[in-house]
Chain A
Amino acid sequence: MASHPNSSVSFSKELQLLLNCLSNKGPTDSTQLAGISETKLIELIQTHRIISQVRGPLSTFSEGGLQEKLNGIYSANKFTQLKFAAELIKINKAFSSQNIDHLALKGPVLSQEIYNDPSERTSRDLDIFIRVDQLDPSLAILKELGYELLTKFSTPKQKQAIVKHYHHMELYHSDENVLLELHWKLSSSKGNSISAEELWSKSTVIPFAGGAIRTLSKEHQLQYLCMHGALHSFFRLQWLTDLHRLFGQISLDEIDALYAATEISEARVCLNASLLLLSELYGFDVPEKITKDADRFSKRIVQISLREIAANTSMDRKKSRWRTTLYNHKVHYSISGIRGLIGSIFSRNVRPKNWQIFAFPDSLFFLNHVFSRFIWLFGKLKRKAP
């Protein structure tokens, strides 16, 4: 176990090896792979979604068995990501033909921006951002393309609650096995976030697989990824790896400018936390002013993130759902203050899955929130009943 200088968190040998690969520090010879559990290493690579980034450094010094496994995971991932890219192009065409404004978030477009290859980064879903007033026509187009809505609602009040308390709806294409998140906000955070209008006005069109697609501006991309990672306590190293590559593509002056641009928004805390983590885990050279100015909220996110990263094997996260929920509330408080904390707690009582079990009519809609926990428990007991 290796302890980190600014925290009491210890990382397993396998996790430390992966961090060395991600920060270009190794392995430098085969002895550094001695005593490593192959099973644990593979599990961590898949959980943190970093196969493309660690296969190269690990393959150089690994024996046949591990190398074969890494190549197998890498090839399978490549084909899946190509399918996601193809699906994104289909949706891009369908939305454009019906004049639906849309931005591609993360996924194959981010892969293209970071690696100049739409299939090099691991994604499990597609993320598309639309204008909230174009939600209905967007859903209709996606239905036509074969997507089924997983975030179900059947009354106007239910839809209104989803739009207010959530930031996306989930859809699934069973033939293609593609999960899609349709966003109208960048996050569920209730704080002072980037306005949708600002996002649209600064959005940019990039070349993508022989065509073109609209996405976030560089500045908003970085702010979004910092916020997304922070809200999830960076429990996947993939999110930090994305930021490491993107920050590596810009100058320190540009980082300073980004820092200044986030002065009045909650993005500042997330940016600070991300840069502190990159400095600690990836040895990224962060401007001194930023490390000096970091407030207790950013530092708290760093501590929570380090604990989450250390604990993140798929098994550990399942065991610690309550701890993760508590961390999540703490992170919301750190980013958006008391408003963020209340929003985070309240939004847990808006459960569209409950409405499939029992739903109060729209005239008594508030009772859905009040009885949310009971309906959830009732559904759980009903499922367990013989």
Chain B
Amino acid sequence: MKKYAKNPNTVASKLDDELVMIDIDLGKYFSMNSIASSIWEYIDTPKTKEEICDELLNEYAVDRATCTQEVTLFLEELIQMKLVNEVT
């Protein structure tokens, strides 16, 4: 099953409820809202989509189907921005 891991070439920090980060090589800044930053924290160690959803379901009032759909979209976006890598 596919796992998702952070691109190690980033430095991140909390800015109130948001997470802000910089891509070291590109020098580009990104920011994430509180749910997105929770996902970012979960993937400190590589995790599957299901494992990420398990964590989110513990923290937020959401059903599994919606959660999986949102997480999938978000991870695709992060992969496109090269902030997250797929690992096996």
Binding site for B on A (CB under 8 A): 74-75, 78-79, 81-83, 85-86, 89-90, 117-120, 176, 209-211
Contact = CB atoms under 8 A, between A and B. Distances in A.
The secondary structure that dominates the A interface is: helix
Nearest to A89: B24
Interface string B19-45: 011111001010000000000000000
Contact of B11 (A74, A120, A176, A209): A209
B8 A82 contact: no
Chain B, interface size category, equals 10 to 19
Nearest to B8: A210
A85 B14 contact: no
The secondary structure that dominates the B interface is: strand
30 contacts: A74-B15, A75-B15, A78-B13, A78-B20, A79-B20, A79-B22, A79-B29, A82-B11, A82-B13, A82-B20, A82-B21, A83-B22, A83-B27, A85-B11, A85-B22, A86-B23, A86-B24, A86-B27, A89-B11, A90-B24, A117-B13, A118-B11, A118-B13, A119-B11, A120-B13, A209-B10, A210-B6, A210-B10, A210-B11, A211-B8
A52 to B, nearest CB: 11
Contacts of A118: 11, 13
Contacts of A78: 13, 15, 20
Contacts of A210: 6, 8, 10-11
Interface in B1-21: 6, 8, 10-11, 13-15, 20-21
Interface in B27-71: 27, 29
A82 B22 contact: yes
Contacts of B14: 117
Contacts of B13: 78, 81-82, 117-120
Point out which of A74, A83, A86 has the most chain B C-beta atoms below 10 A from its C-beta. A86
Contacts of B6: 210
A157 to B, nearest CB: 39
Nearest to A108: B11
Nearest to A74: B15
A211 B11 CA distance: 10
Given A82-B29, A118-B11, A176-B27, 11 more contacts: A74-B15, A78-B15, A79-B20, A79-B29, A82-B11, A82-B21, A89-B24, A117-B14, A119-B11, A120-B13, A210-B8
A120 B14 CA distance: 9
Contacts of A120: 13
B20 A86 contact: no
A117 B20 CA distance: 12
A118 B23 CA distance: 14
Nearest to A119: B13
Give 10 closest A-B pairs by Cβ, nearest first.
A86-B24, A119-B13, A82-B22, A209-B11, A85-B11, A210-B8, A86-B22, A117-B13, A78-B15, A89-B24
A79 B31 CA distance: 11
A78 B22 CA distance: 11
Contacts of A209: 10-11
Nearest to A86: B24
Nearest to A208: B11
Contacts of A74: 15
A74 B11 CA distance: 17
A82 B8 CA distance: 14
Contacts of B15: 74-75, 78
Nearest to B21: A82
A175 to B, nearest CB: 9
